[in-house]
Structure 1
Amino acid sequence: MQIPSLAEIKRELSYLNEKELREFIIDLSKFSRDNKAYLFFKLYGREQQGLYVQMVQEELELEFQNARDDHSYYAKKSAQKIRRKMNKLLRLSKEKTDQIEVILFFCEKMKEKGFLKHGNLVLDNLYNTQVAKVKKLISGLHEDLQFDYEGRIEAID
């Protein structure tokens, strides 16, 4: 089965009325939890700016509480699992400031929970990659916003 291009899908959607579009969106949200989460953040994120960051931080906080950091192997596996979840959640927002907040939260929690105390190369690389990613995102922001994040970057660096 040949899947049509996004342009073709957009064209076909433009021919539908509001009721049919609503039904398609509801059906699409039933297919996966990711679709439902994306739809939720798109609908409610406009009214409450910090909602996305707050909910993602709560979810990551739960993951950090359940994570094992007593041994290098378990700390590595837990950190990788949390990073995968974070990256999955980062796809739900296109806002750079939201992404920066989430990645900074992840790095701060890794330091706070003692994941870096093991001296594990994989953990160190994972952490440094996230720090580099957040620095790159911050460099693309306005100068005033860059200044706001400098203190937090210095704290995790």
Structure 2
Amino acid sequence: MSIKQYGLQEIKKELQQLDDKQAAALCLRMARYKKENKELLAYLLFDADDELAFAENLKQDIGLMMSQVPSLSYQAAKVLRKILKHINKNIKFTGSKQVEVELIMNFCRNYLEYVDRRTSYKPLRLILTKQLEKMKKAIVKLHEDLQFDYNQEFDELLEDAVKRLPWLNKHDLVL
């Protein structure tokens, strides 16, 4: 015997029938059981009103984490995946393509700064190329004015990456 799963519409109707105290109690109870629920609730309550300031704080945290990336390729790849998991979770919280582009661009810049450029470890190389592709796709979904600005930043980042990384193929990533 399993618990019946309700759809989002049914849950929404039921939540609309609750008063404020009951809804708050349900939110707090839900936040108790999963760390991600608590983080999302904290974001919505304290940081959702200024997404770009939230992104700037995240950039500082990411910069600190990236400065501590180990020099061994296997361990560096593990740490970078952990950082990307943190970034992607926060991108999911904001739901903003602009914040997504900002955070991924920041990650790529930090990658160029802190990760060993001479490595032949393919998973470490793929981390950067996948993020550049992801950024390229996110830029296309932005407003025209923002697209123009971010395309210029993307091109500058790509030029810098090609200069620093001999293994990077620019033609695969050009917008």
TM-score range, shorter chain: 0.7 to 0.9
In the TM superposition, residue 96 of structure 1 has moved relative to its aligned partner by: 0.7
Q: What stretches of structure 2 of length at least 5 have no aligned partner?
A: 159-175
- Matched residues in 1 for 2:9 and 2:63: separation? 39
- Matched residues in 1 for 2:32 and 2:42: separation? 12
Q: Aligned-residue CA RMSD in angstroms?
A: 1.8
Output aligned runs, 1:131-146, within 5 Å. Answer: 131-146=132-147
Task: Report SS of the residue matched to 1:148.
Answer: helix
- Matched residues in 2 for 1:106 and 1:62: separation? 11
What's the CA shift string for 1:109-144, capped at 9, x where partnerless?
Answer: 111113443132112211111111111111111221
- Matched residues in 2 for 1:84 and 1:60: separation? 11
1:118 aligns with 2:119: yes
Task: Report SS of the residue matched to 2:93.
Answer: coil
2:69 and 2:114 in contact (8 A); partners too: no
In the TM superposition, residue 101 of structure 1 has moved relative to its aligned partner by: 0.5
In the TM superposition, residue 53 of structure 1 has moved relative to its aligned partner by: 0.3
1:13 aligns with 2:6: no
- Matched residues in 2 for 1:77 and 1:45: separation? 29
| TM-score normalised by length of structure 1 | 0.88
Residue aligning to 1:60: 62
CA distance 1:31–1:108, change in 2 (3 Å): same
Output aligned runs, 1:19-98, within 5 Å. Answer: 19-68=21-70, 70-98=71-99
CA distance 1:25–1:51, change in 2 (3 Å): farther
In the TM superposition, residue 7 of structure 1 has moved relative to its aligned partner by: 1.6
Q: Which moved more, 1:82-91 or 1:125-134?
A: 82-91
Q: Which amino acid aligns with 2:141?
A: G
- Matched residues in 1 for 2:49 and 2:92: separation? 20
- Matched residues in 1 for 2:22 and 2:116: separation? 50
Q: Which amino acid aligns with 2:111?
A: M
Task: Report SS of the residue matched to 2:118.
Answer: helix
Q: What stretches of structure 1 of length at least 5 have no aligned partner?
A: none
In the TM superposition, residue 55 of structure 1 has moved relative to its aligned partner by: 2.7
Q: Which amino acid aligns with 1:81?
A: K
- Matched residues in 2 for 1:38 and 1:23: separation? 16
Task: Report SS of the residue matched to 1:141.
Answer: coil
- Matched residues in 1 for 2:34 and 2:48: separation? 22
Task: Report SS of the residue matched to 2:112.
Answer: helix
Task: Report SS of the residue matched to 1:118.
Answer: coil
